[in-house]
Structure 1
Amino acid sequence: MRTLASCIGAMTAGCAAGCASISIYRVSERICKELEKMVGNPINEDDIAYIAMHFGGHLKREKNELSFPKVLLVCLNGVATSKLLRKELEHLLENINIIDAVSLEEVELYARDVDYIITTVPINGKGYEQKSILVTPVLTALDKSRLLKIFHKSRGGFNLETLKQSVYRRIEKEFDKETAKKIIRIMDKELDKQVEYLNLTQRKVQPMLNELVTEDKIILMKQVKDYKEAVYASAKPLLDAGSVEERYLEKVIQNIQELGPYIVVAPDVAISHARPEDGVLELGMSVLVLEEAVNFSNDKERYAKLVVTLAAPDDETHLKALGQLSELLMNDMEELLASKTKEDVLKLVKQYSN
């Protein structure tokens, strides 16, 4: 039983590290019910609690082996830029722990406690250059290549499937072939149930891009007189729909004046956004396509022809649509910028909404 407890303990530790706080007792209880059939004897609650306690101790011992490199994201400001980058990084890299996304002014509060800083703005003169990785807000192929090289060399990351295979090999060494197969089958079944349960309970409803960017949320214009008009023109469908208050747009403009053109996340692309508490009433996204680019800075060249207004009421519900928008921009931005009708835009939106 000790050998089995050790094996299952390693599995429970790994699953908890990779899938959030799975109830150790619940996993122990489910596995013990199946084990009762194998051994032909009942396992009472006290024994289950003892086994679960054993697993908990194993989890603590395994903690250092299963820890991820701690990563801090730094963006100039705003929800959309950091969330877009975070989603891309989590899709690209499995073995990192993103602890937070902060502005440049907040770096010093976190920097000493992390292993890496992935930033969209240069960090100069703060003493953290050695651990900083500068990337574009929408990751380029070069950015992705660099990140993969860096983090594939990092130790401490863990993959659930790799860990499972390692534990299964230990089980096969300790038990006869038939018993090992039964134990592995039980563990696979129960752990998959727990992972599925966590995914269902923790996931918020995340609309797809085509559910947010509908025909009435698209504007095509030849030009605007300045970036302020662009901000208002892009957001007008959301204002009309009651998704944002006017003070939300005023906050975007104020942020640009105080912090610079933070909403220009890539050449020709601006994602107009502020924080949820600045006037977001419900989730929404609208798109302005300009024939002539507008500059969002008075002293730099920060031009955009595409201005997307994002109203994000929380940290999660917009992520799927934002990720799909990111894919569209990475693969078909030129075609989107060349759109002459709303139907042209909707065709691309539909293509990346899956």
Structure 2
Amino acid sequence: MIFSYPREFPVDAIEQRVPDVASARALMRQRRPDLLALIERRLQRFAPVIADRPKSLVRNATDAVLIAFCRMAFRYGSWGDDYHPYHNEGHIVEILGPRIERLIDTIGMRALSVSDWFLLALFAATHDLRQREAPLIEAGIGSNERASLEEALRILALTGFSPQKHRDIFIGIELMIAGSTFDARPPPSMLEYNTAELLVQSRGALARKLDKKLDKHAPGWRNDARIVHALELALIAADLDTANVAEPFPVFMASAERLCLERELRSYRNPDSTEAALPMLNFLTAGQERYFFELHHFGSDYGRRTFEAGKLDNAEKLKRLTVDLYSRATLHKPLANGAQVVDAFRQIVAAIG
């Protein structure tokens, strides 16, 4: 790999629970035939550009996505017992499905290579595979992202890919997942590394700063066309990951609510408690404004072309939400707990539309 790291992240019980392609395909047929159908529709759409590719390679690419999906569903999603409101298998689907579809509609399927499109799908499925790793502040890349990357590389090996034959795939996924880090340094007051918290406390996604990190760790990288191209893909991947800001406003705010609830989970606070009221209010108002207006920027030309207009449409609505929710919390009957904050938040979002 390009970037060294102070430790490795070994296979865990979830990887052992979904150890191979056969297990993943059986689970998908039983539990998520809708995702199999989504992938089949995507393959049909790409039929003109994959017709000359070996069928085994296309199947291997699909299998990699399916294995990652099943593991995410068991580890943090609806199939397991450590449910995360935001980082679960639903986040894979929203990127793999509508966001990538929107990108295809905007730039055309031939704007990127078949391998590039596979990498974006693989990124959707693997970049959040681990969410509970202890931080390593000096490493630069988040521990969750590094652990997710190492598991992604094991998935690639399981599905017939090798660094020797498919170096562009391995370089691409490394930079894409590394670039999804939102400032690997947790606030010193936090007891546990919390990705949701970093969305409003960080300095933004690492993808836009990866060139400087490459200068340090891989001098001369600009002479390697594969690394240069992988950096471009990392910017597109980061844009897809954060394109919730460009969704219709109710969808955007639903994702903010899920992040808020995950933040409470990782902070060991009951969202229904009195102590959760102020942190949740601040996250859903000032925190979202800071993320939206200060920290978030689409880093790729393709991302801007696809999503910037949608983000602009949400700007004034987000400002109105902040004013209205703060007004509701301070000028009327006080919001006594987190549940009341969420209820008021939902009412205001519905009114704004």
Give the TM-score range, shorter chain. under 0.3
More strand by share: 1
Higher relative contact order (CA 8 A, sep 6+): 1
Q: Higher Cα Rg: structure 1 or 2?
A: 1
More helix by share: 2
